[in-house]
Amino acid sequence: MAVQEFGSGLTRIETARDLGIDFTLAPRQSVEVGIDAVRNLLPQLWIDRSKCARGLEALQDYRYTWDETLQIFSRRPFHNWAAHACDSLRNFATGHDDELDDYKPPPPSELHFSPFT
């Protein structure tokens, strides 16, 4: 759903396009589908450790909360400082075109980041 600004009557997309910014909206997906999309996308990405340090910290701090009473994790990720950065990556993962699908990552010896360590 495109948000319409009260003052101008234009959607944010129309305002951006008027400013020369053209982009494609990611389809609305559940958070769970988006998280799976990020998990599938991560092996295809090169991440610069120094330039993306704060983003990597956000990925490491993105988590579900534990309900001690019910002894289960929450259904939605915890909304803290990391949520916005991770939501951005999630939106990219669900909305990117398929150019990355044909991309070949560098040999493992050149990679310096693993989301699993």
In this structure, are residues 61 and 80 in contact, taking their beta carbons and an 8 Å threshold?
yes
- Considering the entire predicted model, what is its pTM? 0.67
Average pLDDT (84-104) is 79
Residue ranges of domains in the chain: 29-110
Residue pLDDT, tens place only, 8-49: 888 888 888 888 888 777 888 899 999 999 999 898 888 889
Q: Residue 76 region, left (φ>0) first, then alpha (ψ -120 to 50), else beta? A: beta
